[in-house]
Every structure is written in structure tokens, then in C-alpha cells.
Amino acid sequence: MTATSDLGTAELASPDLLRSVFRRHAAGVAVITARGDAGPVGFTATSLTSVSAEPPMLSFGIGTGASSWPAMAGTDHVGVHILGEHQQELAATFARSGADRFGPPTAWREGPEGVPLLDDVLAWMVCRITARVPAGDHRIVLAEVLLGYPTGPGRPLLYHQGRFGGLRD
């Protein structure tokens, strides 16, 4: 077996090592939204995962120090939005601390269960939260998909090496 690197240069596990490794992992970009006590909240997520087909379930991670966490901790329903290549600025807005995420130019409407639904996305789902699993400084949120819209136009937005981008042909 051939090693791809010198084991002598391997690093011990740390937050920086984890971030460095996952910068090399291209991930789709989603925005998770919920209705909070003071209005809509949301954040950009690259940790979205399909969990189960029957029943349809997904998961995402959120830091307990995130500004959206109190609303996510207290709500029963969330919106999950798959972003397109044309939505790099929207992804950056929802990733930026202190940003007015739902002010102009963000286009959205109230959907089922009061969930904020973003306009012009590749796909969206309204989900019912079934569990919040402690995982270090994060929570893994498990949610059952209740309804969705899978046919928005465009190609997916990706996150890689600390930047948003698209697929190459």
C-alpha cells in the first residue's frame, strides 16, 4: 500500500486541522430558515445530509453559539433551501454575522407552518424537527420532510476552499 503523504508530517486532531481538511471537501450550499420570536432567522449550511427515504428525513448541523441557534432550539419547523450558482451573494449574506438576512435584496415569503421560504432557489422543503443531538459545540438537527418544491431552474452552488462557486463542465 502506498501512502499519499509522509506520516511524519501528519497533524494531531484540532479545530484547525478539521477546518483545513473540510476546505478540500466540496459541498452543496443550503440556507436553513425558521420563524423566531423576533422575526425570521436563517443561516448558510454546508452540512445538509439526506438521512432516510422512509420516512423522508434530513439532517444539518448548527453551532450552539450561532445567532440562529435560539430560534432553531425552540421551533418545530424549518425551511431548507438548496441554492443555485446565481445565489452566491445570498449564501454570503446568510453566512455573515450581523447581516440583515431577510432585508432587501433577499426575496422571501411566509410558507406553511410560518416557515420563511426564500424565492428563486433550486429547491426547498418544509420540515418538522424530530431531534436535536448534541455534538460538541454543535447540534445535529434531524427533521422529517413534510413538503417541498424540487424543480427550480439552474445549477447548484458549491462551497470549496473557503469560496462559493459552481460546477465546471
pLDDT in tens, 41-54: 999 999 999 999 99
70: cell is 435560539
Residues of the chain with pLDDT under 50: 1
C-alpha 34/C-alpha 152 separation (Å) is 21
C-alpha 127/C-alpha 118 separation (Å) is 14
86: cell is 446565481
39: cell is 422575526
* Contact between residue 31 and residue 81 where contact means Cβ atoms under 8 Å apart: yes
Instruction: Output the pTM of the full model.
Output: 0.91
13: cell is 486532531
- Residue 91: how many CA atoms within 13 Å on its side-chain side? 24
H/E run at residue 138: strand 138-149
pLDDT of residue 5: 64
* Contact between residue 40 and residue 93 where contact means Cβ atoms under 8 Å apart: no
Q: For residue 79, is it left (φ>0), alpha (ψ between -120 and 50) or beta?
A: beta
pLDDT of residue 140: 98
Q: Is the dihedral of CA 60, 64, 66, 69 positive or negative?
A: positive
